């Protein structure tokens, strides 16, 4: 079993790379952003609780996010491996994730950060706006999401780095060459 965390700011290409990785390795994909969007779209109790927070571009509190993640893990007892996309975004979430992995006699084997500049991220999201409307891609909300990343989420990187678990991949370039860099990390013995 191989478990992977894919890390990077909004618009870094996590979604695109995740799709390719799932195809190649058969990971169960856990994207907390997608899960929250599903809940808000279907107007579940959880969706009602997080809708305003998400639409503002802020992070959902750890307590809610971690509980939702745990539920998702429990739904997949026979997974060959998990790919976490958009989680963890705080050190508290990273610690909870380690605990869940340990409880299942496994671990997070790779933490891969897509290195993309703020300028590149803003350009990409501006392009995405022309194709797909996401409330949280609107200018003010996007600013908030990027600020959340560079003030809170970024602190997760030293947490993994100190333990020697962090690998950084250049996130600007052709999709295929970024994918190759990621698979080289996963496949190394």
CA distance 1 to 135: 36
CB of 73 to ligand AMP, least distance (A): 14
- Tell me which DSSP letter residue 164 carries: T
What binding mask, one character per residue, do residues 143-162 give for ligand AMP by CB under 6 A, x or -? Answer: --x-----------------
- Tell me which DSSP letter residue 182 carries: H
Q: Please say if 145 is a catalytic residue.
A: yes
CB of 188 to ligand AMP, least distance (A): 27
CB of 141 to ligand AMP, least distance (A): 8
Report the largest interatomic distance among the alpha carbons of the chain, rounded to a whole angstrom: 45
CA distance 119 to 142: 13
CA distance 121 to 13: 9
Task: Name the residue with tokens 């409330």.
Answer: 135
What binding mask, one character per residue, do residues 18-57 give for ligand AMP by CB under 6 A, x or -? Answer: --------------xx--x----------------xx--x
- Catalytically annotated residue among 122, 129, 134, 141: 134
The residue (of 59 and 178) whose beta carbon lies closer to ligand AMP is 59
The residue (of 33 and 171) whose beta carbon lies closer to ligand AMP is 33
Length of the chain: 189
CA distance 117 to 10: 11
CB of 187 to ligand AMP, least distance (A): 26
- Tell me which DSSP letter residue 62 carries: H
Helix-strand-coil split of the chain, %, nearest 5: 60, 10, 30
The residue (of 71 and 184) whose beta carbon lies closer to ligand AMP is 71
Q: Please say if 124 is a catalytic residue.
A: no
Q: Among all residues, which ones are annotated catalytic?
A: 14, 89, 128, 134, 145
| Contact set with ligand AMP (CB under 6 A) | 10, 32-33, 36, 53-54, 57-60, 65, 86-87, 89, 93, 136, 145
């Amino acid at each position: 079993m191989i478990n992977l965390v894919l890390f990077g700011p909004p618009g870094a290409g996590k979604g695109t790379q995740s799709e390719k990785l799932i195809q190649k390795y058969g990971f169960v994909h856990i994207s907390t952003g997608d899960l929250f969007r599903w809940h808000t779209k279907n107007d579940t109790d959880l969706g009602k609780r997080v809708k305003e927070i998400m639409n503002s571009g802020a992070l959902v509190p750890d307590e809610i996010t971690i509980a939702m993640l745990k539920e998702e893990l429990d739904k997949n007892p026979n997974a060959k491996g998990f790919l976490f996309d958009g989680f963890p975004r705080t050190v508290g979430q990273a610690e909870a994730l380690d605990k869940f992995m340990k409880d299942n006699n496994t671990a997070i084997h790779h933490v891969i950060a897509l290195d993309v500049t703020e300028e590149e991220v803003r350009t990409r999201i501006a392009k995405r706006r022309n194709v797909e409307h996401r409330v949280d891609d609107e200018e003010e909300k996007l600013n908030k999401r990027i600020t959340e990343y560079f003030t809170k989420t970024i602190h997760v990187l030293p947490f993994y780095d100190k333990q020697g678990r962090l690998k950084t991949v250049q996130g600007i370039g052709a999709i295929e060459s970024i994918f190759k860099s990621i698979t080289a990390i996963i496949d190394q013995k």
